[in-house]
């Protein structure tokens, strides 16, 4: 388990290197959905995603590593590549062969080497661990790492300083690093605020796991437009935090995710990726949600 003090320590560590992102709102969107919506704009973070927070918090505590290596579909990859540049060490990123070419190009722009030939969600973990062993590089996991989880929580710490307590916050869920960090902060600072995770129906491993009371692995790699949350099973470290501090996880349809992305871009005038649409999607499906909501906008690395 991580604590509020872990997150506060991460915030101090990260402050010289990252942005304090804004909270955005749209009167027209509020009227359309009959809600008061507060969007924490992590799409405006360095590397275009909240992922740099966790990656850099982990990297800054390594001392003098020989190099960094990770496995990622894109946003965590950029976070680790950025972190390697801060530390001045080499970086190798193992990316799935079918990952976004835009995100692969972004990773290379930070000076990292991309390994993607033949990499799938079934063999990626073995590939990254082989590279870590061969080169002596430190493997920064995308979510199953206490330092990563604490780093991700710093966005919620900022949010609690920027806004009054909402009735609930909505968070996209992949492996659970983001929602673990956010839930840790929200439940410590605003204990009456509900923490609600959102997954695609095609990738609802965390929702199924919560219902079962144990980690459930999907039968096959999920296919969803929300490419940032294509995990097959919640993390071993993140899942206990989710069980303790997350009130509910919802699953939404693909068409709702894309429509939510379009609405956010139209009304907020911001470029966001499909995964960022997850938090707004439940409102389009008539989910029973309270009136004042905080939505964490996870990333903006998208091109039409």
Is the pLDDT at 148 greater than 80? The verdict is yes
C-alpha to C-alpha distances, 268 to 7, 67, 142, 215, nearest whole angstrom: 29, 39, 28, 36
Rounded CA-CA distance 239/15 in Å is 28
Band (100; pLDDT cuts 50, 70, 90):
confident
Q: What are the two backbone dihedrals, phi and then psi, of residue 292, each rounded to the nearest 5 degrees?
A: -105, 115
DSSP assigned state of 145? S
Which residues, listed in sequence order, are joined to residue 92 by a DSSP beta bridge? 69, 113
Band (258; pLDDT cuts 50, 70, 90):
very high
Sheet holding 194-200, edge to edge: 23-24, 36-41, 292-297, 168-172, 194-200, 248-252
What mean pLDDT is predicted for residues 65-93? 95
Task: Indicate the pairing of strand 23-24 with strand 36-41.
Answer: antiparallel
Identify the sign of the CA torsion 294, 77, 176, 5: negative
Rg (CA), the chain: 18
The pLDDT of residue 184:
98
Whether 185 contacts 153, CB under 8 Å? yes
Q: How many CB atoms lie within 10 A of CB 282?
A: 20
What mean pLDDT is predicted for residues 221-233? 92
Place of tokens 């009136």: 291
Same fold, 4-49+147-297 and 52-139: yes
Tokens of 126: 């073995």
The pLDDT of residue 254:
98
What SS3 class is residue 38? strand
DSSP assigned state of 153? H
* % of the chain exceeding 90 in pLDDT: 90
The pLDDT of residue 2:
96
Q: Which fold has domain 52-139?
A: Rossmann fold (3.40.50)
Please indicate whether residue 192 is annotated as part of the active site: no
The pLDDT of residue 103:
85
Catalytic residue among 26, 40, 49, 51: 51
Catalytic residue among 72, 73, 83, 180: 73
What SS3 class is residue 293? strand
The model's pLDDT over 38-63, given as tens digits with 9 standing for 90+, comes to 999 999 999 999 999 999 999 999 98
Rounded CA-CA distance 193/289 in Å is 12
Task: Indicate the pairing of strand 68-71 with strand 36-41.
Answer: unpaired
The full set of domain ranges for the chain reads 4-49+147-297, 52-139
CATH architecture designation of domain 4-49+147-297? 3-Layer(aba) Sandwich (3.40)
Is the pLDDT at 9 greater than 80? The verdict is yes
Please indicate whether residue 40 is annotated as part of the active site: no
Q: Give the global pTM.
A: 0.95
* Mean pLDDT taken over the chain: 96
Residue 111: left (phi > 0), alpha (psi -120 to 50), or beta?
left
By mean pLDDT, which of 95-104, 188-197, 237-246 is the weakest? 95-104
The pLDDT of residue 219:
92
């Amino acid at each position: 388990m991580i604590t509020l003090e872990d997150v506060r320590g991460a915030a101090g560590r990260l402050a010289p290197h990252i942005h304090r992102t804004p909270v955005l709102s749209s009167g027209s969107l509020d009227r359309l959905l009959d809600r008061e919506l507060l969007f924490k704009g992590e799409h405006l973070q360095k590397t275009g995603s909240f992922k740099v927070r966790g990656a850099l918090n982990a990297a800054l505590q390594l001392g003098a590593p020989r190099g960094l290596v990770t496995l990622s579909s894109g946003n965590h990859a950029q976070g680790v590549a950025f972190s390697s540049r801060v530390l001045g060490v080499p970086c190798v990123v193992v990316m799935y062969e079918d990952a976004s070419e835009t995100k692969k190009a972004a990773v290379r722009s930070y000076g990292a080497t991309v390994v993607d030939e033949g990499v799938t969600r079934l063999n990626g973990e073995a590939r990254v661990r082989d590279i870590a062993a061969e080169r002596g590089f430190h493997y920064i996991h995308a979510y199953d790492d206490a330092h990563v989880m604490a780093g991700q929580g710093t966005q919620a710490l900022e949010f609690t300083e920027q806004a009054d307590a909402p009735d609930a916050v909505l968070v996209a869920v992949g492996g659970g690093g983001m929602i673990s960090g956010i839930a840790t902060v929200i439940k410590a600072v605003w204990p009456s605020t509900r923490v609600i995770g959102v997954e695609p129906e095609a990738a609802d491993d965390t929702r199924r796991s919560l219902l079962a009371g144990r980690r459930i692995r999907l039968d096959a790699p999920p296919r969803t437009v929300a490419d940032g949350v294509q995990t097959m099973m919640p993390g071993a470290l993140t899942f206990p935090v989710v069980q303790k501090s997350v009130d509910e996880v919802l699953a939404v349809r693909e068409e709702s995710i894309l429509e939510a992305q379009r609405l956010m871009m139209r009304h907020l005038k911001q470029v966001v990726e499909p995964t960022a649409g997850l938090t707004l999607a439940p409102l389009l499906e008539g989910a029973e949600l309270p009136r004042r909501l905080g939505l964490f906008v996870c990333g903006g690395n998208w091109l039409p």
